[in-house]
Amino acid sequence: MEWIVMLIKALAATAGGLLALWGGYYLVSGLMCWRGQKPFPIRPARTKFAVLIAARNEELVIGPLINSLLMQDYPPERYDIWVIPNNCTDHTARAAAGFGARVLKCDRPVKSKGEVLRFAYARLRGRRYDAYCVFDADNVVDSRFLREMDLACQSGAGAAQGYRDSKNPYDTPMSGCYSIYYWMMDRFYNQSRAAVGLSAMINGTGFMVAARVLEGMGGWNTHTLSEDLEMTVQCALAGEKVVWVPRAITYDEQPLDYAVSVKQRRRWTSGTIQVAGRYLSQLGRGVEQGSSPLALVDLAALLVTPFYQAAALGAAGRRPQPAGRDDLRFHRRRRISSDPGGQVGPPPAARPGAIWPVPAVLGAHHPGLPGEADHPVGGDPPHPERLPPARSQPSLSGQLNLITPSLTFGRRTAFCAAAALFLSYNKTYVEKAGKIPYNDKDAAGTLWRQKNAREKRQEKIRTLERPCIRSTL
């Protein structure tokens, strides 16, 4: 029995140390977000883009996205907008064509966004596009998105991720939490990786992949539910770094209620586990292709996120207890003695002249008290049958309680560090967004500035959604 306890202790201590190391790594890497990024050199437009939009029952929301893409500050002959309707029961294809996009009907059964993009790439690879940009149908795109991605391509980027902003951060608390999550991902993950020369993470929408990279990987070969994370891993294995382009902004619509959020996060977690099971053992191959070992370690830390979350939740499920509490509870139980006549009498401590013995666990921690369990402090000693059995060590649950705090250390470290960094950054973010000084003492002025920043954001999104006429011939 002792070796089982020792084995559990060793495994728990190892897991706690790894979790603490994981949280400390994200703390240190998150601090690098304060380093700025140099803009790409200004050059004439040269890249020809294929804009891919996988759409399923998006008739009501796809119009503003196409309008914002038609209003790009980029030569119209240098990009095409392709909408790929799949499994639709509405008129998404008709709506997309009416707004001015090209429609590529998916004539095969598909179950995920990755399969739709694989189908579209197979159909369009012969049209000599230089790069492919991917958006969700409910997005709105900043007018300089393609211009910034063109500059990144001409600077040698094989894959790039833009800044993922939010369309509706003020609608509900759930959409606000999602917005904060993506702001933190942009700031503390992608920007910090770009500052130290590591690869950013492709984030589902608003990203670009060069045609030469896809040709080198044998085409668009994503097979899991998280096609964005899988593409990030495939780029790392191919020796390509995902470049962070913060000036290429995409406004994404966030979920409004808890049910939609749970369904979406379940899909993300399942996809991450699929990617980890498929590629985690192959990361060593990326060194042969030119990827730095640190970049692969960083990617491995990202892939084990679901397992870290499960371990953190498991550790949080057990409430730490002080050492010896289980034994003290055992000694404090009420003991009833039986009289010879079969009548149950009062406990020995209630009888005159009878004093309870001091347990060994108390005597060992209190100097001056006897340490033997069968030695009374005073009075007549109780009958030997009434003495509690001697226990040399805590039970299994008591020993596990001693190591539980080490399991929660990494989770608490990472959470506190992220919260502190975000709160310190949020003040600067609001100041830059509103272009006005920030004054914490003036509550009325603060509310007015927040309302002003909200109105500016909504006005910008309405401007991007404004209809635009462009020939698609």
Per-residue model confidence (pLDDT) at position 34: 80
Per-residue model confidence (pLDDT) at position 374: 46
**Dist CA 135 CA 139 (whole Å):** 7
What are the residues facing 38 on neighbouring strands?
none
Q: What would the mean pLDDT of 72-83 be, rounded to a whole number?
A: 95
**Dist CA 423 CA 426 (whole Å):** 5
Q: What would the mean pLDDT of 394-418 be, rounded to a whole number?
A: 51
Per-residue model confidence (pLDDT) at position 134: 96
Per-residue pLDDT at 338 exceeds 90: no
Of residues 385 and 64, more confidence is placed in 64
Band of the pLDDT at 466, cuts 50, 70, 90? low
Element of type H or E holding 120? helix 113-124
Q: Output the CA–CA distances (angstroms, integers) from residue 396 to 6, 7, 388, 406, in the order listed.
A: 10, 12, 19, 17
Q: What would the mean pLDDT of 350-359 be, rounded to a whole number?
A: 46
Least confident of 243-252, 256-265, 385-394, 437-446: 437-446
**Dist CA 403 CA 407 (whole Å):** 7
**Dist CA 330 CA 322 (whole Å):** 14
Per-residue model confidence (pLDDT) at position 331: 45
Q: What would the mean pLDDT of 283-295 be, rounded to a whole number?
A: 76
Q: Output the CA–CA distances (angstroms, integers) from residue 227 to 194, 252, 271, 354, in the order listed.
A: 22, 17, 8, 75
Per-residue pLDDT at 89 exceeds 60: yes
Per-residue pLDDT at 406 exceeds 50: no
Per-residue pLDDT at 179 exceeds 90: yes
Q: What would the mean pLDDT of 290-319 be, rounded to a whole number?
A: 74
Q: Is the pTM of this model over 0.95?
A: no
Per-residue model confidence (pLDDT) at position 249: 95
**Dist CA 233 CA 213 (whole Å):** 13
Of residues 417 and 262, more confidence is placed in 262
Token digits of residue 111 = 């179950």
Contacts 24+ apart (CB under 8 A), 286-295: 286/236, 286/237, 286/238, 286/239, 289/237, 289/238, 289/239, 290/239, 291/236, 291/237, 291/239, 291/241, 292/197, 292/198, 294/198, 295/198, 295/199, 295/236, 295/241
Q: Are strands 49-55 and 131-136 parallel, antiparallel or unpaired?
A: parallel
Per-residue model confidence (pLDDT) at position 174: 92
Per-residue model confidence (pLDDT) at position 454: 64
Of residues 418 and 330, more confidence is placed in 418
Q: Is 100 helix (H, G, I), strand (E, B) or coil?
A: coil
**Dist CA 231 CA 203 (whole Å):** 10
Least confident of 3-17, 81-95, 104-118: 3-17
Q: What would the mean pLDDT of 45-54 be, rounded to a whole number?
A: 96
Q: Is 470 helix (H, G, I), strand (E, B) or coil?
A: coil
pLDDT digits (tens, 9 = 90+) for 221-239: 998 989 999 999 999 888 8
Per-residue model confidence (pLDDT) at position 132: 97
Least confident of 58-67, 255-264, 282-291, 349-358: 349-358
The overall average pLDDT reported for the chain is: 75
Q: What would the mean pLDDT of 254-272 be, rounded to a whole number?
A: 89
Those residues whose C-beta lies under 8 Å from the C-beta of residue 389, and which sit 6 or more positions away, are none
Of residues 415 and 256, more confidence is placed in 256
